[in-house]
Each structure stands twice: as C-alpha cells, then as structure tokens.
Chains A and B, each alone.
Chain A
Amino acid sequence: MHDIALRAAGLQKRFGGLLAVSDVSIDIRVGEIHAVIGPNGAGKSTLINLLAGELLPTSGEVLLNGADITSLSPDRRARAGLGRAYQKTTLFAQFSVHENVRLAAQARSTAPLRMFGGTRCDRPYLQLVTDAIDRVGLSARSQIVADKLSHGEQRQLEIAMVLATNPQVILLDEPLAGMGPSEARGIIGLIASLKADRALLVVEHDMDAVFELADRLTVMQDGRVVATGSPQDVRVDPGVRAAYLGADGGIA
C-alpha cells in the first residue's frame, strides 16, 4: 500500500575475512518508519553506509524510487533525496550551529555553488534553516561553535542538518544515543512527525523508542537479517528472543 522509496536487495559487504553485511534485503516505504535493531557489531551502521553510498557493496543492489543507485557517489545520492545522520557525530566542528545547518540547506538549494553574493541573500532557504534548528530545540544555541556543544546537543544538530536538506528518504544511525531523557522525548516526537511524507530508516538501541516509533522492524545479527515484520510479530519471534535477547529475554 505504501510506495517503496528505498530498496536494498541481496546486499553484501565483506571486510577482509569478515562479512559485515550478508544478503540483506530491506524495503523502506514512504509514510513508514523502519527500525533496525541488533547487538553491537551486527552490521547496522555498515548497512546505512551501503545505502548512503559511503561504502560500495561487494554484491547486491540499491534502488531509489526504482532507479539503480548502487554505484552512485554519496553526494549524488544526497542530491537525489537521500539524507543521513551519523552514529559517530560528524559535523563542521569549527562552524556555528547555524552555519552547519545553513550549509546543509545550501547543499540542496537551487544554486549551491554560486560564486558571488553572500549567503544572506538566500531568503527562501534561510527560513528552512531556522525551522530546522527550532525543531530540534537548538534555537538558543544557534550561534555557538559546534565543537563547544555538549554531546547531546551535537546529536540534535546532526538531525537538524538532515532536516535542512529536506530529504525524501532519511537514514538515522542511533539518533538518541547520548541525549538526555527530555531531549530524547523531543527528538522521538520529531522523528514520528517526519514520516508523513517521507521514508525513514532508524537504527536505535533504545527499545522503548523503537517500539514507540517503528511501523516495521528488522533485527540483524552477525550481518544477517534474523527477523523482519511488524513490531508485534518480531517481538514474539522465538528466533529473535534466542538470538538477540538471550534465552530469557523480554523485549520492553
């Protein structure tokens, strides 16, 4: 019923002798949040890097709105409507919060590499910038250099930068890690509000957040998909209980 925005089929990534991602197929649909969970080293970040183009798969393919983007560079994928946030904070550390987000918006503006005129004359996207900063709750901090933010604030900034590029498909790698409870609440609400006209893939360790947000859930272990389906089905999947939570496990 929902359109598939991003599809991965038979993705495999080998690092030397290690199969970090092995035969992973996943569909991300518009209007849905697809959560990916799994223990440390399961291959979740590697999967995101394959989808975003930072790593090239050993085999398999990636389709964006039906078009093959398997060998497209990360910047081409971004311009095609893919936005991602990193697990390990990756910001323009020497620039202010506002400049970080403004650069994100600039990258998707009509003339991102214009060589004349300042950056202040671009009214249309400056509104997008203030909105994005506002939505992650950093308005009061917008003039601060990113380097000087607390870890949680840097995570918020990561998300603001994704918002400012206004992507159609969003990949978030542990967006809540390192955030305080009240900030996390705000971001959970924000993520939920994004799915209306977008497709989201969210990797997250916080199970309460996962079961609150996810429309579809995929569990990974040792590079493979262990289970996938609605959160209710996955929750009672015996294989998942054994593999991911240990024999006595109880999700949420």
Chain B
Amino acid sequence: MSMPNLRVRLFGIACLVMAIALPFCVSTYYTQFLAKALIMGMLAMSLNLVVGHGGLVSLCHAAFFGLAGYVLALLSPRYDAASLLTTLPIAILCSGTAALLIGALVLRTRGVYFIMVTLAFGEMLFFFFHDTKFAGGSDGISVNIRPEIAIAGRQLLDLDKPMTFYFVVLGFLVGVIALLTMVVRSPFGRALAAARDNERRARSLGFPIFRLRLTAFTLSGALAGVAGYLAAAQFGFVAPQMLGWHQSATILVMVLIGGLRSVTGPLVGALVLIGMEEVLKAHLDNWKLVEGLIIIGIVILLPNGVRQIWSMVFGASPQRAAEIKPAAAEARHA
C-alpha cells in the first residue's frame, strides 16, 4: 500500500473512532444534531455520484429524499410503530423507482436543459404533495411513532433513544460510504467518469452512455431514499419543503463545499454547512447573509472543496491521491 493510501485509511479510521466516541462526550441535543448532520451528509454523498462522478448537475435530488420520508409517514400506523425492516426497503424501492422513471426522461437532455428539466420534475413532485390532501397537503404529515427494528415481535434496537438512533445512522452511513466507494472504483464507476470527461469518446468506445447514467441516477435516488427515511424517522414529521428545489439546492451547495471528486467530500461539506449554520444562528440576527458570504468565499478560495485544506496542511490530499500519482510520474520522466 502506498503512503498516501495508508494515510487516508488511518485518517478514515480516526474519523470513525471519533464519530463513535462523540455521543458519549456531548449532550443529547448534540447527539441528535450530529445524527441530523450525518443524514444530510449521506444525502449529499448520494447526490455526488451523479454530480461529481457523472458530471450531471441534478436539481431534483430532494424529491427522492422527501419521497422516502412520505413513504414512511404513509406506512406508519397511527398508534403503532412501523417495522423498519419492511418499510425501509419499500421507501428505497419507491425513491429508486422514481429516480428510474425521472432519469429515463431527463437523461435525454444535456447541460443547462438537464438542470432545468430536473428542476421541473422536482417541482412536480413538490406540488403533488403540496396540493393534494392525501398526505396532509401543505401542512405535511407526522410520523407519530418512530419505526422499530424488531424480529418476531422482539425489539432489537430502541430508536427512541437518541444515542441508539445515532449509531443506527452511523451504521447506514458507513454502509453508504462503502457502497459508493466500491461503485466509484469499479469498472462501472470508471466508465461513468469517462463519460463525464468526454461523452463522445466514451460512446465511440462502446459504452452505452444512457444506460450507464440511468443506473447511476437510480442508485443515487435510492440512496437518497435511505437518508429521507432516516430523516423522517428522526423528525417525526414530513412536509412538502423536504422535496422542494430549495432543499435540492442546499444539497448541491454541500457537494460544492466538500468537493466533487471524492466519495466523502460531500459529507464534509454537509458537516461544515450545518455546523456553520448552527454557530451563526446562535450569534447573529442576519446569519443567512453571513452564511452566503462564507459559502461564496469557500467556493472561490477552495475550488476543490473544504477537503483541499487537507492538502494544504499535510501535502497530498486524500481524494486527489489518484490524480497526483500521474503528476509525480511525470516529474520522474522529466
């Protein structure tokens, strides 16, 4: 294993250890806050499969997130807990199917048109839940009782305990990181990135671009479903805003802050954005304005995202190790 690779792994393990230790060191409020931030990080990472790796700027990602939340809300009995083991797969299936159907239409467009058509489909879903009464309309709908993880009537984990919920989220997060890392490094992931770099050449080599992108779009939507389900379970409430364009844009900002070229960059972006909001909210009245200025500053000064700070501090950046290698080789040949 090469040096930067080893360093990345050690850094990852250190982060995980910290994430495990944190809830034991902070108050319940912050445990819940962290769980919320990790869920948003999961959502941003799922979007980045399409944006960063696929090169397609989608503005309807929140729709898949919100849809899964609504699925949980609608499947939850009024006075009883829904079973996570059955409702989560259904929620993922719904989000994935919605992504498949929307993707099949929007992926026929390119560039600015793609952005606009995804926006239109996202808004369609928003108004569907906003203007129909079956799921509470504009008021939203609540999940009265958190879903439970139970087998044969025996409860395995109590999601009402903030600490337990946090660790369940952390478990899903690690799973999503592992899955995305595997996909990005696989032949599929390389082909997806190749199509981003030069669609024409990728097609002339024989890659079926449409199928490639539709698969990525569907997987991305399904993973957004995991995040949406967990978010609805945590807040106990879903409203149309959860799938609106404003939410989609926020996720995109997380991706931009964290950097497009790595799996975990958007997670860092989400933590930075949500952490920053928390701090600013507590101290400033016009915090939105300051937040906007800081985001502009980050994007201008660190075009590769917050994770670029790593390379400024330690030399080689973890996510760019692969791209730096060729440069190093070039120096040898020179």
Binding site for B on A (CB under 8 A): 52, 54, 73-75, 78-79, 84, 86, 90-96, 99, 102-104, 106-109, 111-119, 122, 140-141, 143-145, 148, 161, 165
Contact = CB atoms under 8 A, between A and B. Distances in A.
A144 B326 contact: yes
B206 interface: yes
Contact of B198 (A54, A78, A92): A92
| Most chain A beta-carbon neighbours within 10 Å: one of B190, B206, B212, B326 | B206
A144 B198 contact: no
Contacts of A109: 187
B187 A112 contact: yes
Contacts of A116: 182-183, 186
| Most chain A beta-carbon neighbours within 10 Å: one of B193, B204, B209 | B204
A58 to B, nearest CB: 21
Nearest to B211: A113
Contacts of B194: 92, 95, 103
B127 to A, nearest CB: 34
A208 B325 CA distance: 41
A103 B205 contact: yes
B198 A90 contact: yes
Contacts of B201: 86, 90-92, 161
B198 A91 contact: yes
Given A107-B202, A112-B207, A113-B212, 9 more contacts: A54-B204, A90-B200, A92-B194, A95-B193, A103-B194, A122-B187, A141-B333, A143-B329, A144-B333
B182 A115 contact: yes
A86 B330 CA distance: 26
A79 B200 CA distance: 15
A186 B203 CA distance: 28
Interface in B309-333: 323, 325-327, 329-330, 333
24 contacts: A54-B204, A74-B204, A75-B205, A75-B207, A78-B205, A84-B204, A90-B198, A91-B198, A94-B197, A94-B323, A102-B190, A103-B191, A103-B194, A103-B202, A108-B206, A112-B191, A115-B182, A118-B186, A119-B185, A119-B190, A122-B187, A143-B330, A144-B329, A165-B206
B208 interface: yes
A106 B204 contact: no
Given A145-B327, A165-B205, A119 B333 contact: no
A143 B326 contact: yes
